[in-house]
Every structure is written in C-alpha cells, then in structure tokens.
Amino acid sequence: MKSALRWMSAALENTKDMPASRGIFAMSANEHAGLDQRARVMVEIAGGKWKLSGD
C-alpha cells in the first residue's frame, strides 16, 4: 500500500502544464494546489455579461 501511495504522490508531483476546466495545473513536492497565476483572472459584469477586466 505504501509503495502505491509513493507512486501516486510522485506521479502527481511531476504533473506539469496539464490543462483542465479550472486552469492549468503544475504540481510539485511543495505545491499541491497546482494552480498558478494563469488560473487567476479579474472579471466584471458589463451589460449583464461577464467580461475580462481590462478588455
């Protein structure tokens, strides 16, 4: 069981630039959330619709 957990941990921690619905994931031994600045955007509602701030 422990070897399977070590294998899963190593596989997750070596995930780089994996696109998903919530952003692009890049994991490491120190970063388990996986989302970096590319996943954060500012939006506003203009005319009843979402738009990226600054557009």
Claim: this prediction has a pTM higher than 0.85:
no
Report the pLDDT value the prediction gives residue 55, as an integer from 0 to 100: 66
SS (H, E, C) the chain: CHHHHHHHHHHHHCCCCEEECCEEECCCCCCCCCECHHHCCCEEEECCEEEECCC
What pLDDT, on the 0 to 100 scale, is given for residue 47? 93
pLDDT at 51: 93
Note down pLDDT in tens along the chain; length 55 residues.
Answer: 789 898 988 888 888 988 888 888 888 888 878 888 787 888 999 999 999 887 6
